A and B are shown apart, each in its own frame.
Chain A
Amino acid sequence: MPLTYQKTYRTSTTLSILVVLCVLIGAYYVYFYRDSAWLATLVGATHVPMARWVVGIVIFAVNYALLGRVPKTLQIVMTFIELFLLLGLFMTTFQLSLPFIRQKIGFLILQGAFTTLYVSAISIVIAFCIALVTAIARLSSNGVAVGIARFYTSFFRGLPLLIQIFILYMGFPQLGFVINPIPAGVAALSLCYGAYMSEIFRAGIQSIPVGQWEASRALGLHKSKIMRLVILPQALKIIIPPTGNHFIAMLKDSSLVSVVGVWELTYVASTVGNRDFRNMEMLITAAAIYWFMSIVLELVQSRIERKFSTATR
């Protein structure tokens, strides 16, 4: 079945196909999760498992064939919507209590999502600075600086973030500093992500042609000024877009700081859920909030990327 682009299709046709698809999804759902008595009367009880597969494959094929009749952009959107609806149907199998979710979602967002966002935002800013310094140290002619940078990246890339959080939270009091959960979490996230991001920064700095260094040196500029005035402004255009990607990843990794008692989204969700024995409600709500935040950030990031790729070179 070739998926070809056909201009002649009207929106009305595609819309009707969309409806058909939704119906098909409904059928899929009924087929899997309601009783299959109608199948049993049709093919006999012994053949029900086989018949399920056949019905499933037929539905999938019809669905795919219909999708083949719409333009590609619509194919993408419809496939996304279909999968999203299927996911929604899957969620209903948990028999979630919607009133409970409605009652708690405000707290989840105001306390949990807010903390998650600001812990991540502070951490990414610190990580950015750490990564910059580390990358410059890695490229320095000073062996001590290179050694420190290497040890740092090796250590923080080599340990699970969860263990880093514990070590920082439990370790600092041993040295005589009592550290609060949020600073501990921010420190762990910044140090871990700074280590990863320093590699991107290093690659970004190294991607600037050597001729830029030579021209600057020939003009009499010193290293630090070359870095600040010539290399970094160009390298940052390469470095900033992937930072957005790391921020999206950090948003979810920040759930790990819940282990030291930071009231971020995951911690709030599981605490509230435990209290009323409604864990699934809260976890799924938290998941939806994470996903929503990620989608928004992805949109922001793609705008940043577009801006940087069209900027005057």
Chain B
Amino acid sequence: MQNGTAYAITMGGVNKWYGQHHVLKDIELQVKDKEKIVICGPSGSGKSTLIRCINGLEGHQKGRIVVDGVELSDELASLDRVRGDAGMVFQQFNLFPHMTILDNCTLAPIHVKGMKKAEARDLAMRYMARVKIQDQAHKYPSQLSGGQQQRVAIARALCMQPKIMLFDEPTSALDPEMVKEVLDTMIELAGMGMTMICVTHEMGFARQVADRVIFMDNGAIVESGSPQEIFGAPRTDRLKTFLSQILHNH
């Protein structure tokens, strides 16, 4: 897969059904190394499903997904390799409530990578400092604000030292005053050359960070282009309608 431009992610002819419901339709997507992509679209358009297919949280029935040279299949080995390369941040944070912040971050390095405790701890402290949460190391998730919890979730994913970060509406469950601290963390991350795919409606973030914005509707990619093209000169009616709706809400 290393011929010419190295693609971090390649999706070719990906289709997915939930029973009769066709949720992903012929998805074609190439993500270059270090590229930042924002995916937007109305709810139920399949954008979350799409990024959940990338790390195999959801299976697809047709087509190929290749992540950093590894084709996704049902085999555990391929899933393991892909998940080692792609970290994920969820809308609902999904921190482990029975563990301290530090233990949340060291769990996977210790139990997946087999790191020594002290080593994992140093690594976790480093990433926690990067998302400015190191002072909370010994607290439990329920003792933190939503914004802090989401930053912990980012640090937890970073502790596996992934090449790609997947964000599934990371700011949708946050109170408005906490959105900025999470976006700032993500912007910083983008500045460090991480490959990022982010499902979000934060247009300011998209404008500032995204190399490419993808608009999805009804399970298909409808438009794709630079933030200026997508937000400034939408070509399809569906995108125009969508943009007028989210502008109205902001």
Contacts and interface: CB of A to CB of B under 8 A. Distances in A.
Interface stretch (B83-91, B176-184, B240-248): B83-91
A221 B111 CA distance: 7
A211 B169 CA distance: 14
A212 interface: yes
A212 B107 contact: no
A313 B97 contact: yes
A194 to B, nearest CB: 25
A296 interface: no
B140 interface: yes
Contact of A215 (B94, B98, B111): B94
Given A217-B83, A221-B108, A233 B90 contact: no
Given A211-B90, A312-B142, A313-B142, A219 B112 contact: yes
A220 B140 contact: no
B112 A218 contact: no
A214 interface: yes
B95 to A, nearest CB: 8
Given A218-B88, A220-B84, A312 B98 contact: yes
A109 interface: no
Interface string A214-246: 110111111001000110011001000000000
A218 B156 CA distance: 11
Interface string B76-109: 1000100110111010101111100000000110
A213 to B, nearest CB: 9
Interface string A187-218: 00000000000000000000001011011011
A158 to B, nearest CB: 34
Given A225-B111, A313-B142, A220 B94 contact: no
A220 B156 CA distance: 12
B90 A220 contact: no
B233 interface: no
Contacts of A219: 83, 87, 107-108, 112, 156-157, 160
Contacts of B95: 215
Given A219-B108, A220-B84, A313-B98, A211 B92 contact: yes
Q: Interface centre among B56, B90, B98, B156, by most A CB within 10 Å?
A: B98
A215 B90 contact: yes
A275 B96 CA distance: 61
A279 B153 CA distance: 67
Interface in B98-150: 98, 107-108, 111-112, 140, 142
Contacts of B157: 218-219
Given A211-B90, A214-B90, A220 B160 contact: yes
A220 B83 CA distance: 5
Contacts of A233: 98
A235 to B, nearest CB: 10
A229 B86 CA distance: 21
Contacts of B76: 222
Contact of B97 (A218, A221, A234): A234
B57 interface: yes
A140 to B, nearest CB: 16
B57 A217 contact: yes
Contacts of A225: 111
Nearest to B92: A211
Nearest to A236: B98
Contact of B94 (A214, A221, A237, A312): A214
A211 B95 CA distance: 9
A217 to B, nearest CB: 6
Interface in B39-71: 55-57
A217 B94 CA distance: 12
Contacts of B83: 217-220
Contacts of B97: 234, 312-313
A215 to B, nearest CB: 4
Nearest to A223: B76
Interface string B151-190: 0010011001000000000000000000000000000000
Contacts of B107: 219, 221, 229-230
Contacts of A214: 57, 90, 94
A172 to B, nearest CB: 41
B112 A221 contact: yes
Q: Interface centre among B57, B87, B94, B160, by most A CB within 10 Å?
A: B94
Interface of B: 55-57, 76, 80, 83-84, 86-88, 90, 92, 94-98, 107-108, 111-112, 140, 142, 153, 156-157, 160
Given A218-B88, A229-B107, A237-B98, 17 more contacts: A212-B96, A214-B90, A214-B94, A218-B86, A219-B87, A219-B107, A219-B112, A219-B156, A220-B160, A221-B108, A221-B111, A221-B112, A230-B96, A230-B107, A312-B142, A313-B98, A313-B140
20 contacts: A212-B94, A214-B90, A215-B90, A215-B94, A215-B153, A217-B56, A218-B87, A219-B107, A220-B108, A221-B107, A222-B76, A225-B111, A229-B107, A230-B96, A234-B96, A234-B97, A234-B98, A237-B98, A312-B97, A313-B142
Nearest 9 A/B pairs, CB to CB:
A215-B94, A219-B108, A211-B94, A218-B88, A220-B83, A220-B112, A312-B140, A233-B98, A313-B97
